[in-house]
A and B are shown apart, each in its own frame.
Chain A
């Protein structure tokens, strides 16, 4: 097996990975960075984020307000020291991206413009029309080309962390062009692989969002934190799940049911003012809006379509000029994929799996419990998002914590320190290679990747959706355990070494099954309702028992063991989440 020696290995080249790579290069240009990604950087799913990135910049806004919006939005499950760090760093990070060329939308006088977003008391979401993630990703990718110390390894699928004596010594990855496994021997590793929405069948997430990095850390002994919290975005296109940005509602879009009624006023989000009121109605938080849809469906007030029940997102009153200026991609997507021009007709929408609040357990500096291993972005759980992330906090999060991960990993790499002896490290890397080869060579299996994936998706949708119960989750965890066993019987049809997507999809499926089991197990054990985790059998928040982070620990054979850690509370005591007119 070929060994590639580097100083810092970064897995994932989306927003967080690229920001981390640049941070390493700027902190210490002498350090070699290996930026490893299963796709070319500009294919990373950061590209699909639309609405914007939050940071306090205007005179009418305050850091305190961003803090309180975020903590209340997360139903007090956020670590408040991390939120404070986040809101303080946020304006600097977005400013840096401005200096690097991001085409932010502007006010007439040339200052960066901001728009309102759900759950935010004041408009503070920077945006580049409705392609903010796209522009952020391309700006970072293009800027990263300035730095000679960053060497990219595009289309390398990372399989395992190599951990010896509690220290991370690198990562193994398949070079997809040749099918060969390479060992990236490094002094520190950053995981920045994004979310795992593909665990569910109906998601805004691209095909690549399979939770690989989460699983690599999980199998290497790092717990996955708060995995029961999965965000449904309230406005996806039926059929495809294509995201229609919250920016649509930030600009004044309205949600109505089959009677043309703004139903959100029935769910503690009113009054139904004709103007957009912050933190009310359509500008409520995503968890509340998706839950309201579920209730409307139960009441028979949604609209039936071939692709399931929908409600209408009405943008018509914004007018063609504003839609073209602020929401051009929404118009284009809606016209192309469902044949609805929002200038003339309301867009049918339904809730869709969008974001994993949980992830790799890190401290405020993005470090994990394994020496030299860091994680940042959606794959990580710091945690600033708690039980429900506010829209436009995640693009900012991947910059703030991507940069911190880069600095932290650079320090570890520069320090040198005690490294385990080479023989043990190489043996561990070879064990990882052998796992891949065993899967590749197996001929006697009976399970296909696509069939098993479908069963996993179905089990998660049935058991761990917007509303959950003991029964549904027990069934789901049992099913997931069976699926794990069946995975041992997966067989590949494709035996080629060149760009073998049957192999990569099989490994991705293995990642997703472990992530899914962590989600379902964590959800089963949290017998309360908080943020995005809603139980039909435990409908109230229970701070006495559950004002704590869940930690799922990996077991090769059994279901994950779940334990808990206290939330860090500094200056905001848990209170009732209040939205609508009562929030003022």
Chain B
């Protein structure tokens, strides 16, 4: 009996020696319990030491191993061979420059993450001796979902707005801003408004919802962006109705 196999068509590109990217095909064994990352690791260990990609945890929490699998932004450690066709096309995440093979340049994302001030802006300095901020389970539940982002970039890869305009702050960073805005310990919403409500911020989003569909952690950045729009629009009208409320 011949062993069952799958074919991986992997996009290869080494700027050191290639003029243009091209596909290379590898045949690897099929295992019922393997994820695509296991198959790629097989290539690396047994067939071709020159293949470059990122990975670490193999349990869908470190966010390293995002790639296009048959055209869909996916975590390769969370996509099973048994759910794929016998020929699997693997490419770097779209909407990002390719550094090499399946490794994309993520500087832009990292800058955007920092731009939304993703940390608690407290009303006043609090000493550890004062104990914890009280936060009820209901207050926690308001933002908990938006803390689950693993920064895997799948949402940027799926986002049609980011594809058109890379000034767009983008789903994960906007969801993170929303997470802090909703946190009962935080008063930083107005400080984040510059970036969040600017043109390349929330108003760019056309609410296609592709980001939320590909999110492996059910963060639902599309919902975060829509809620932010409502809050920011509210602010805008409040300026006219209740000018004394301005910060």
Contact = CB atoms under 8 A, between A and B. Distances in A.
Interface of A: 39-40, 42-45, 47-48, 92, 95-96, 98-101, 103-112, 131, 134-135, 138, 142-143, 145-146, 154, 177, 206-208, 239-240, 242-243, 329, 333, 336-338, 448-450, 454, 492-494, 496-502
B99 interface: yes
B147 A242 contact: no
B63 interface: yes
Contact of B61 (A47, A110, A143): A47
Interface in B86-108: 99-101, 103, 106
A131 B186 CA distance: 22
A108 B133 contact: no
**Chain B binding surface, main DSSP class:** loop
Contacts of B122: 99
B61 A498 contact: no
Interface string B50-66: 10111111111111100
Interface of B: 14-17, 33, 44-46, 48-50, 52-64, 78, 99-101, 103, 106, 110, 113-114, 117-120, 122, 126, 128, 131-137, 139-140, 143-144, 147-148, 150-151, 176, 180, 183, 185-186
Contacts of A40: 106, 110, 151
13 contacts: A43-B56, A43-B63, A48-B57, A99-B120, A100-B120, A106-B137, A108-B136, A111-B132, A145-B114, A145-B118, A493-B48, A494-B49, A498-B16
Contact of A499 (B99, B114, B126, B135): B99
A493 B52 contact: no
A570 B89 CA distance: 62
A262 B117 CA distance: 50
Across the A-B interface, give the 8 residue pairs with the lowest CB-CB distance, nearest first: A110-B134, A206-B56, A450-B45, A493-B49, A142-B118, A494-B50, A101-B120, A206-B57
B128 to A, nearest CB: 4
A243 B134 CA distance: 31
A98 B132 contact: yes
Contact of B119 (A101, A105, A500): A101
Given A43-B63, A96-B128, A329-B61, 8 more contacts: A106-B135, A138-B147, A206-B62, A207-B56, A242-B59, A450-B44, A493-B50, A496-B16
Most buried by A among B17, B52, B61, B126: B61
A111 B134 contact: yes
Contacts of A154: 110
A134 B61 contact: yes
A131 B50 contact: no
Given A106-B140, A206-B57, A502 B62 contact: no
B135 to A, nearest CB: 5
Contacts of B132: 95, 98-99, 104, 111-112
B33 to A, nearest CB: 6
Contacts of A104: 132
A494 B147 CA distance: 39
Most buried by B among A42, A92, A112, A146: A42
Contact of B144 (A100, A103, A142): A103
A47 B56 CA distance: 11
Contacts of B110: 40, 154
Contact of A502 (B50, B63, B118): B50
Given A110-B136, A142-B118, A42 B150 contact: yes
B114 to A, nearest CB: 5
A146 B150 CA distance: 20
Contact of A336 (B52, B60, B140, B151): B60
A103 B147 contact: yes
A454 to B, nearest CB: 8
A51 to B, nearest CB: 14
A115 to B, nearest CB: 15
B112 to A, nearest CB: 12
A277 B162 CA distance: 53
Contacts of B54: 39, 43
A106 B48 CA distance: 49
Contact of B49 (A43, A103, A131, A449): A449
A240 B119 contact: no
A98 B183 CA distance: 12
Given A154-B110, A207-B55, A101 B100 contact: no
Given A450-B49, A498-B99, A106 B136 contact: yes
Contact of A110 (B49, B106, B139, B143): B139
Most buried by A among B114, B133, B144: B133
Contacts of A109: 134, 136
Contacts of B180: 101
Contacts of A492: 49
A99 B128 contact: yes
A152 B133 CA distance: 30
A47 B100 contact: no
B55 A450 contact: no
Nearest to B184: A110
Given A99-B133, A110-B136, A42 B119 contact: no
Nearest to B106: A40
